[in-house]
Amino acid sequence: MLGYIFKRLMLAIPVLLGVSILVFAIIRFIPGDPARAIAGVHATPQHIEQVRREMLLDEGLHVQYYVYMSNLLQGDLGRSTFSRRPVVTELRERFPNTVILSLAAMFVATVVGMSAGIISATKRYSIFDYSSMVGALVGVAAPVFWLGIMFQLLFAVRLGWLPSGQMGTFKHLILPSLTLGLATAALIARITRSSMLDVLRQDYITTARSKGLAERVVTYKHALKNALIPVVTVMGLQFGTLLGGAVLVETVFSWPGIGRLMVESILRRDYPVVQGAVLLLAVTFVMINLLVDVIYAFLDPRISYGSKEAE
């Protein structure tokens, strides 16, 4: 297992290298002079020239990338051209907030999604089944920024139960995580349902039932564990989507996370921060994928990595 993890980590290096080149190139392909954009309309030509020098814009792309990479390898992501603070500091402050939001959203998605999925599967074609599957469809289709504003209007303005945004107490976390988590909950519900239905048709379930086991035991002990394998895959992939969805949710709810930082930095042409943030998200994706693969092994004894028996 350790060997497998090591191999995966090694494989991540070219992926991350590719990501760094891609991001580096893409933001530089945005037409226009970033020095102009950063310096602003009131800037003097001298000041624009100074910004250009600072950002090495007069040098070729390869020189810029070389300098960027050699600094990166020393743990230096540069300074934000906007705040003038080290990018590492900016990311360190913001990233935990996005992780908190994403984890909370994942929690919402898991609890809501799995319960709805399991109940729908066991009470197939019931009113609950239909309504939760229609609900899931809506959940997948509704744009998160719209959902967010609706939640704000209902729970903050109308009912006055929850704060409308910003980070602070636990209460501040509820609406953003609900908004972010619902689409994933819908997806998880649908996958759980179909996967459960699949498993419940298997012979061993019939055997378990014929042994006279209680339906509850059959469902939760025998069926659920196997039904969860595709669900975990989806959850792993979805966690990445959650990090991406955080861009919108963080903006609607003024959540000080990395998604909002990234959007604002793109608008400000703050190259160092955009590069740092995307790279950090890429690393997170890679790690989560690895984690998901490792979790498989625990969930399903048939899956094992790198051991002799598997080969």
Partner 1 sequence: MRKSLLVLLVLAMMVSVFAYGCAPEPDPDPYDVDNGEPVDVDPDNQDLVIAIGAEPENLDPLKMMSAPAATIAEHMVENLIYLDVDGALQPALAESWEPAEDGMSWILQLREGVQFHDGTPFNAEAVKYNLDRFMGVDDPDNAAVFAFLLGEVSDVEVVDEYTVQINLNNIFAPIASHLSHSFIGMHSPASLEALDAGEFVEAPVGTGPFKYASWDRGNQIVMERNEDYWGDVPMLNSVTFKFVPEAGSRVIMLETGEAHAIMAVPPTDIDRLDAEADIDVVHQTSVRVIYMGFNLEREIFQDARVRQALNHAVDKDALINTIFSGVGEPSSAPIVPAIFGYTQTGPYEYDPDKARELLADAGYPDGFEMELFHPTGRYPQDATVTEAVQAMLQDVGIDASLTTYDWGTYLDTVIVPPDEAEHDIYMLGWGTVTLDADYGLYALFHSTQWPPRNNVSYYANDEVDALLDEARVTPDRDVREDLYRQAIEIIWDDAPWLFLYDEGQVNGERSNVKGLIHHPLENVSAWNAWIE
Residue 113, C-beta contacts closer than 8 angstroms, at least 6 positions apart: 184, 185, 186, 187, 188, 189, 192
Residue 256 as a binder of partner 1 (CB under 8 A): the answer is yes
Piece of the chain touching partner 1 by CB under 8 A; list 113-121, 178-186, 220-228, 266-274 = 266-274
Site residues for partner 1, 209-238, by CB under 8 A, read 237
Compute, in degrees rounded to 10, the torsion defined by CA atoms 128, 132, 135, 141: -150
Cα 59 from Cα 57, distance rounded (Å) = 5
Read off the DSSP letter of residue 91. Answer: H
End-to-end CA separation in angstroms for the chain: 13
* By the rule CB under 8 A, 78 interacts with partner 1: no
Closest approach, Cβ 205 to partner 1, in A, equals 33
Asked if 14 is part of the footprint of partner 1 (rule: CB under 8 A), the reply reads no
By CB atoms closer than 10 A (0-12, 13-18, 19+), residue 70 is exposed
Q: Which residues pair with 86 in a beta bridge?
A: 79
Contact stretch for partner 1 (CB under 8 A) within 62-70, 209-217, 227-235, 276-284: 276-284
Residue 86 phi, psi (nearest 5): -60, 135
Q: Is 289 exposed, middle or buried (0-12, 13-18, 19+ CB in 10 A)?
A: middle
Question: DSSP class of residue 70?
Answer: H
Within residues 82-101, the interface with partner 1 by CB under 8 A covers: 82-85, 90, 93-94, 97
Minimum distance between the CB of residue 156 and partner 1, rounded to whole angstroms? 5
Report d(CA 27, CA 48) in Å as an integer.
19
How would you class 76 by CB atoms within 10 Å of its CB: exposed for 0-12, middle for 13-18, buried for 19 or more?
A: middle
Provide the minimum distance between the beta carbon of 130 and partner 1 in the complex, in angstroms, as a whole number: 31
Of the pair 156, 205, the CB lying nearest partner 1 is at 156
Q: What is the nearest approach in angstroms of partner 1 to the Cβ of residue 110? A: 19
Asked if 247 is part of the footprint of partner 1 (rule: CB under 8 A), the reply reads yes
Q: Does 48 bind partner 1 (CB under 8 A)?
A: yes
Which one of 102-110, 201-209, 246-254, 302-310 is the stretch in contact with partner 1 (CB under 8 A)?
246-254
Phi, psi dihedral angles at 77 (to 5 degrees): -95, 5
Q: Which is nearer to partner 1, 30 or 137 (CB)?
A: 30
188 binds partner 1, rule: CB under 8 A: no
Site for partner 1 in 91-150 (CB under 8 A): 93-94, 97, 149
Structure tokens at 66: 């070389």
* Residues found near partner 1 in the complex (CB under 8 A): 15, 19, 22-23, 26, 30-34, 36-37, 39-45, 47-48, 50, 79, 82-85, 90, 93-94, 97, 149, 152-153, 156-157, 160, 163-167, 237, 240-241, 243-244, 247, 251-257, 260-264, 266-267, 269, 274, 278, 281-282, 285-286, 289
